Amino acid sequence: MREKRELPPKNERIIEPFRLFGNVYFIGSYGESSHVIDTGEGLVMIDTGSTPNLQIVLNGLEKLGFAPTDVKYIINSHWHHDHTEATRAMAELSGAKTLIGREDYEKAKRFFDADIIISEGDTLTLGNTTFEFIETPGHTKGTLSIFFNAEDDGRTVRAGMFGGAGVNTLHQGKFDYEGCREDYRKSVRRLMNEPVELFIGNHSWNNHTYEKWLDLVETGENHFVSHNAWIRFLESCERRLDETIAKDNL
Ligand SMILES: [Zn+2]
């Protein structure tokens, strides 16, 4: 990835729907990520975004040649509106079943009533893909991290998403729940044991979705599969946690 490129202001960054790798596609916006995985027997969507993101997601599906009814499941990484507000409408349009982590189920009810409640170690299989979930509390109590094998022309890579990386809820007075900082650190360290090669962003700035997409479009080089991007990001998460705690202690 080229390091010092000139980028437009954040509110002008538009990402066209595209394929990250094999059967994994991005269909969200710069601010709100949404992905679909083509399992051969339908799509699994990860996050829908807020209400204004719904049209972006629907356009994205269409541009990639999919129909809303191809979506069979919607995994919601955590309850916040920028990941789930459009889930109810998307589920109605598609007939898809919705999933949320057990500790976020009640809070998510303001946006949708999940069909399937996920606990540690649960899996979801559709077509050729099995999604594995681990509970990674911190950003919210019910944050789910998601892992699966992505396929591209006979090559298999381990894909993973940290389902809630933001330290915005770890500031004093902004806590999702008591003990969130300790949980966040434990979650980050636990995720470091996962051998992720295809790092999928819960927000585009997690894995530099925008910059890597520009690279893909401009040079044809695909930087989404990486052996160290996942670990580097998790290390930065722990640093940001330490900075957050230090700031509050000033
Ligand atoms: Zn959030």
Give 127-177 pLDDT, tens digit per residue: 999 999 999 999 999 999 999 999 999 999 999 999 999 999 999 999 999
Copy the structure tokens of residue 186.
């434990």
Q: What is the pLDDT of residue 231?
A: 97
Q: What is the pLDDT of residue 2?
A: 56
SS (H, E, C) the chain: CCCCCCCCCHHHCCCCCEEEECCEEECCCCCCCCEEEECCCCEEEECCCCCCHHHHHHHHHHHCCCCHHHEEEEECCCCCHHHHCCHHHHHHHHCCEEEEEHHHHHHHCCCCCCCEEECCCCEEEECCEEEEEEECCCCCCCCEEEEEEEEECCEEEEEEECCCCCCHHHCCCCCCCCCHHHHHHHHHHHHCCCCCCEECCCCHHHHCHHHHHHHHHHHCCCCCECCCHHHHHHHHHHHHHHHHHHHHCC
| Cα 220 to ligand 1 centroid, rounded to whole Å | 32
Q: What is the pLDDT of residue 3?
A: 58
157 falls within a domain: yes
Q: What is the pLDDT of residue 249?
A: 86
54 falls within a domain: yes
Phi, psi torsion values for 79, nearest 5 degrees: -75, -15
User: How many distinct structural domains can be found in the chain?
Assistant: 1
The contacts of residue 172 (CB under 8 Å, 6+ apart) are 248
| Cα 155 to ligand 1 centroid, rounded to whole Å | 32
235 falls within a domain: yes
| Cα 80 to ligand 1 centroid, rounded to whole Å | 5
234 falls within a domain: yes
Q: How far is CA 167 from CA 164, 199, 209, 228, 235, in A?
A: 9, 19, 19, 21, 13
pLDDT-based confidence at residue 33 (cuts at 50, 70, 90): very high
Residue 119 domain boundaries: 13-248
| Cα 171 to ligand 1 centroid, rounded to whole Å | 13
Q: Please, what is the angle between helix 87-94 and helix 53-63, to 10°?
A: 40
**How far, in Å, CA of 98 to CA of 54, rounded?**
15
| Cα 153 to ligand 1 centroid, rounded to whole Å | 34
Say how many C-beta atoms besides its own lie within 10 A of residue 220's C-beta.
7
Average pLDDT, the chain: 95
| Cα 67 to ligand 1 centroid, rounded to whole Å | 28
**How far, in Å, CA of 218 to CA of 214, rounded?**
6
7 falls within a domain: no
Mean per-residue pLDDT, 29-43: 97
Which residue, among 150, 156, 167, 180, has the nearest Cα to 19 in the 3D structure? 150
| Cα 81 to ligand 1 centroid, rounded to whole Å | 8
- CATH code assigned at 101: 3.60.15.10
56 falls within a domain: yes
220 falls within a domain: yes
166 falls within a domain: yes
Per-residue pLDDT of 3-25, as tens digits, reads 567 888 888 889 999 999 999 99
| Cα 139 to ligand 1 centroid, rounded to whole Å | 6
| Cα 218 to ligand 1 centroid, rounded to whole Å | 31
Copy the structure tokens of residue 69.
């009814």
pLDDT-based confidence at residue 1 (cuts at 50, 70, 90): low
Asked if pLDDT for residue 67 goes beyond 90, the answer is yes
Burial, 246: exposed, middle or buried (Cβ in 10 Å; 0-12, 13-18, 19+)? Answer: exposed
| Cα 236 to ligand 1 centroid, rounded to whole Å | 17
Which residue, among 43, 98, 97, 37, has the nearest Cα to 70 in the 3D structure? 43
| Cα 103 to ligand 1 centroid, rounded to whole Å | 14
| Cα 213 to ligand 1 centroid, rounded to whole Å | 23
Per-residue pLDDT of 78-132, as tens digits, reads 999 999 999 999 999 999 999 999 999 999 999 999 999 999 999 999 999 999 9
| Cα 216 to ligand 1 centroid, rounded to whole Å | 28
| Cα 78 to ligand 1 centroid, rounded to whole Å | 7
| Cα 49 to ligand 1 centroid, rounded to whole Å | 11
What are the residues whose beta carbon lies below 5 Å from ligand 1 (ion)? 80
